[in-house]
Structure 1
Amino acid sequence: MKRKIGIYTVLVALTGSLLSGCSASNQTDSAADKAQQPSKGPVKLTYWVAMPADAARSLKSFSEALVYQEMEKRTGIKVDFQHPAVGSENEQFNLMIASGNLPDIIESDFTKYPGGPEKAISDKVLIKLNEIIDKNAPNLKKFLDEHPSFKKEIVTDDGSIYVFPGIGIGNNAVSSGLVLRKDWLTDLGLTVPETIDEWTNVLRQFKEKKGSKAPFTIRLSDFNKELFNGAYGIGWEFYQDNGKIKYGPYEAAYKDYLTQLNAWYKEGLIDPDFATQDAKSLDAKITNNTAGALTAAVGGGIGKYLNAMQSKDPKYDLVGAPYPVLRKGDEPKFINKPYEYRGGGSAGITPSNKHAAETAKWLDTFYSNEGHMLKSFGVEGQTYNMVNGYPKYSELITNNPDKLSIGEAMSKYLRVAQPSPGLVGDDRYADQYFALKQQKEASAIFSKHQKNADAILLPRISQSPEEAGELSSIMAEINTYQSEMFLKFVMGAEPLSQFDKYKNQLKNLKIERAIALKQAAMERYNKRK
């Protein structure tokens, strides 16, 4: 459906001075029109952005980060960062919007704004950026001109661009999946499972021959992503099938998926505590020989467990497994692949901004090769060194003198570990961030079929404000009911003979209306230019 965005095709050269000389624009939007006028004197901007926990451990503000200190040196623009408290980002975002006291720039995921990006514009939270980008953001403009399918992701149905996006690049974008104890597989003479039947055999042997009390450990919330469901040809929620919107838990094949989970649960192959388990309990089970498999991230899971166990049990090992299928040789499609337009980490300009032209030029730097290198690798000779044309992180990042982990060090000096305006997911970053061989291998395994996901992923559709309100109301009830019944079916409190009754209740709760609203939005999306 969409072409994969390759890293070397999007690192466009920086041409000319990006932040010198700006011309007036004939914006129809009055706030944007005024902001297009070139400024006299120094430019100062206010920038609201959530600070990741890794960065908050060593920074009070992004103004202390090397990437932004260097940006100020290069551009002369001073940025005053405003950070909500870690853990209260959504609440403080809503309070900020309600107050009407807006900063110049807001970095957020406006695809999740109540009523969608169109509502954010009509609420006068964001301004339209089409002409501003045309006149002041040559790097982003070039990218959008060369990738029209991506441009559709960041415009509203009426064609308004509303953010400077985080753009996914690289070949290993999938950062989580199914993970198993490799040392157990080796001991038992087993290979990494690919099919559901192979998974059944592996989990059964973990239980019978390794004494595992929770062969596959998981939290209830971890079922809210692509997992084993893809083997049955259904998504865990909304997805598309040849242009037709479907809802996985309403499909006939969902019964087959539930039947398998119920069988595993009855046999003691799924953690009996999965419904109430927290992260601490899960961590303990995967490191104390209680569990043999789980779903985990490459960094925060595989890396965390291996580092914790290296000194305690030298034989302890983990391996990533491909997304499962029913038949050997089939390729998975339902994969936790991020959108190329990340949504999160995208910057919008508000009507309060009196320097929209300069702001656009400043943000556009991150879509150039120079800006991408700065935000992803930092300053040469300080945070990285070029080795045979390859930007290799220095020990300031990989062996930090203040004992920061590689992720914490990256968050202190760079903006590479989470989505942010510009290019995201450089393979050269991922190769070094995932320092362990097992992490690199798992990343490649999880990502091997990532292109297949484009066929089932919903594009970045937008509901109208009226549709969004109706859809939200419908799905609030459906999500509650579906979660409740998922648990009952898996644990056997509700027999699977009642599946048709469950489907009828979903219909009564207006799931078909919800699907129709999504379908209408996708048809509008398909008409975008």
Structure 2
Amino acid sequence: MTGRGRNAGLFRFMLVCLIGAMVTITACNSGGNSGNDATSGKGTNNAQSTSNEGQTPDGEGKKDVTLTYWAELGASPSRTLQTYNDALFYQELEKRTGVHIAFEHPAVGSEKEQFNLLIASGKYPDVIEYNFLNYPGGPEKALADNVIIELNDIIEQYAPNLKKYLDEHPDMKKQVSTDSGKMYVFPSIGIGNHGVTGGLVVREDWLKELGINEPKTIDDWTNMLRAFKEKKAASAPFTASLRNLKLSQFNGAFGIGTDFYRDNGVVKYGPIEPGYKEYLTLLNAWYEEGLIDPDFSTQDNAALDAKVINGNSGAFFAYIGGGMGKYLPALQEKDSSSNLAGVQFPILNQGDEPRFINTSYEYRGQGSVGLTSANQKIEETAKWLDYLYTDEGHILKSFGVEGVTFKDVNGYPTYTDLIVNNPDGLSVGDAMNKYLRVATPSVGFVGDDRYSEQYYTYPQQKEAFATFSQYQENAYETRLPLISHTPEEANEIATIMAEVNTYQEEMLLKFIMGAESIEKFDEYVEQLKKMKIDRVVEMKQAAVERYENR
């Protein structure tokens, strides 16, 4: 490919320049690990130091660069990897760039605590992979705390591929900058045409048996759930956990979000809006009629899974991969005629379009990388990361090594049986985690349609993927942009919302389950206002306006 050839030539040129710099650095500093010992085994699953001498693909010279890299491994990758160094992607990346990565992984399940300990220690690795939008006080505070460094000049000088992309996509540049215009990460950037990975799923075989069309309006949903209860003896026609009930999007039919959202540019808090009362009224009516699972407030994922697989439920919220991909084979093992379909997010009236949709932001946040104040190899780090914004780097990260994990079929990178029919019995997701870095957000580009089309193996999943994403652009008008709060705002919001969230969730359950009359809704709103929810809305509005002015 022409673009790939240009990127390869540019990368070889940068590596030649890097040689000279590294000779000087190596002579002056034989350790050069930012004050951290790459072989010390920090964390629970750290890679031990190995020889990192290597050559560029065409043998232009040897390198000796090691970078320490803190990153969550996560539950899914940890099923096949002890460290990312075990992944084919990082092994091949080292061969191509001559840069060895000494990973520091926190124990799975204690990532947040380990991150806080890392920050408190003041002893940082060269880079940290983290969603700095979640840093206490936001990215601006992370910069002010001297945990990570500003990247504007670094990207300008050493990351031509990322710079070009940001210049061509100014809105992305806004997303990865603070209100003061400071860029702070090498981002994980979403591409492709499908950003919605979960939605409402129904038993399509039940619909056909009962002569019911796929539901669109709230009335359609009510009638369908009644039929499931009365004619299929479903004990929980619609099953859910408390968390995914909030993701189910029934609220969108009433024109409100379940949290902060925008209405014609004005920030609002859904749970105090009039439409929220209508939403609660619907859920209470369904609960009283036995259309919603009575255990929704307490059941865990295992209990929910059992109700779906055992035929106690005919509708539920599910992710396309981990949900439909699990339920379809389990249901069809019991009854080959069983089938599932992803359906459109509900509307109130025929002809309406869904507007409140859980679609991904282009800037993923998660999986992005900040350079720390301890990093003594800024140029080398930036050039290494920039490779992942080239065509070659993207193909390597998402599809792997040609002839091993993919083959080129008329210009379409097609996964081999090592991924889609793994000889060791690994699922497609586990095989991807073992060999690639594509199943979760990471530096570079994510969400390539060519990956998604092959990751979802069942036609029902592919159809659901298209259905859920059909109206995703409508969400851009209702969701908040990726705003940042000042440290002072962040502290005030955290204090207020700790009380608000507790009370709001308590009342949500009471309203749905009938422990509190919906007639008390106005009193509930007044109590939230006493808790200063309007002050939070005001700060959110100010943050949105600052974002728009970046």
Fold-level match, TM-score > 0.5?
A: yes
- 1:226, distance to aligned residue in structure 2 (A): 5.4
- Distance 1:418-1:322 versus aligned 2 partners, 3 A rule: same
The two structures, once aligned, show a CA RMSD in angstroms of 1.9
The question of whether the paired residues in 2 share the 8 Å contact of 1:53 and 1:86 is answered with: yes
- 1:88, distance to aligned residue in structure 2 (A): 0.8
The question of whether the paired residues in 2 share the 8 Å contact of 1:11 and 1:367 is answered with: no
Higher relative contact order (CA 8 A, sep 6+): 1
2:414 is the counterpart of 1:392: yes
2:263 is the counterpart of 1:271: no
Count of equivalent residues: 509
Three-state SS of the structure 1 residue aligned to 2:333 is coil
- Larger deviation, residues 300-309 vs 408-417: 300-309
- Distance 1:41-1:176 versus aligned 2 partners, 3 A rule: closer
The question of whether the paired residues in 2 share the 8 Å contact of 1:35 and 1:356 is answered with: no
| Cα distance in structure 1, aligned partners of 2:6 and 2:314 | 45
- Distance 1:418-1:11 versus aligned 2 partners, 3 A rule: farther
Three-state SS of the structure 2 residue aligned to 1:21 is helix
2:145 to 97, 115, 123: 123
Deviation digits for residues 38-96 of structure 1 (CA, Å, limit 9, x no counterpart): xx962110001111322111111111111110111001111101111111111111111
| Cα distance in structure 2, aligned partners of 1:12 and 1:199 | 54
1:307 to 329, 333, 343: 329
2:128 is the counterpart of 1:106: yes
- Distance 1:20-1:307 versus aligned 2 partners, 3 A rule: farther
- Distance 1:481-1:100 versus aligned 2 partners, 3 A rule: same
1:334 to 350, 356, 367: 356
| Cα distance in structure 1, aligned partners of 2:451 and 2:230 | 41
Residues 57-68 of structure 1 correspond to what in structure 2 (within 5 A)? 57-68=79-90
- Distance 1:10-1:183 versus aligned 2 partners, 3 A rule: farther
Three-state SS of the structure 2 residue aligned to 1:178 is strand
2:117 is the counterpart of 1:85: no
2:526 to 504, 508, 522: 504
Aligned to 1:200: 222
Letter of the structure 2 residue corresponding to residue 173 of structure 1: G
**Which TM-score applies when normalising by structure 2?**
0.90
1:169 to 167, 191, 214: 191
2:432 is the counterpart of 1:436: no
Three-state SS of the structure 1 residue aligned to 2:334 is coil
The question of whether the paired residues in 1 share the 8 Å contact of 2:33 and 2:68 is answered with: no
| Cα distance in structure 2, aligned partners of 1:243 and 1:151 | 21
| Cα distance in structure 1, aligned partners of 2:121 and 2:229 | 56
Identical pairs, percent: 59
- 1:225, distance to aligned residue in structure 2 (A): 3.0
- Larger deviation, residues 13-22 vs 199-208: 13-22
1:47 to 55, 69, 77: 69
Aligned to 1:5: none
2:165 is the counterpart of 1:143: yes
Aligned to 1:426: 448
Residues 130-529 of structure 1 correspond to what in structure 2 (within 5 A)? 130-225=152-247, 227-528=249-550
- 1:322, distance to aligned residue in structure 2 (A): 0.5
- Distance 1:483-1:261 versus aligned 2 partners, 3 A rule: same
2:43 is the counterpart of 1:21: no
- 1:310, distance to aligned residue in structure 2 (A): 2.5
| Cα distance in structure 2, aligned partners of 1:12 and 1:294 | 48
Gaps spanning 5+ residues in structure 1: where?
A: 1-8, 25-33
The question of whether the paired residues in 1 share the 8 Å contact of 2:4 and 2:392 is answered with: no
Deviation digits for residues 155-202 of structure 1 (CA, Å, limit 9, x no counterpart): 001100000111111111100000001111110011110110100010
Letter of the structure 1 residue corresponding to residue 273 of structure 2: E
Letter of the structure 1 residue corresponding to residue 98 of structure 2: G
The question of whether the paired residues in 2 share the 8 Å contact of 1:105 and 1:350 is answered with: yes
| Cα distance in structure 2, aligned partners of 1:315 and 1:11 | 50
- 1:12, distance to aligned residue in structure 2 (A): 9.2
- 1:402, distance to aligned residue in structure 2 (A): 1.3
The question of whether the paired residues in 2 share the 8 Å contact of 1:235 and 1:248 is answered with: yes
Gaps spanning 5+ residues in structure 2: where?
A: 22-31, 35-61
- 1:248, distance to aligned residue in structure 2 (A): 0.5
| Cα distance in structure 2, aligned partners of 1:496 and 1:185 | 32
The question of whether the paired residues in 2 share the 8 Å contact of 1:333 and 1:452 is answered with: yes
- 1:223, distance to aligned residue in structure 2 (A): 2.8
Deviation digits for residues 479-509 of structure 1 (CA, Å, limit 9, x no counterpart): 0000000000000000010000000000000
| Cα distance in structure 2, aligned partners of 1:498 and 1:15 | 68
- 1:309, distance to aligned residue in structure 2 (A): 2.5
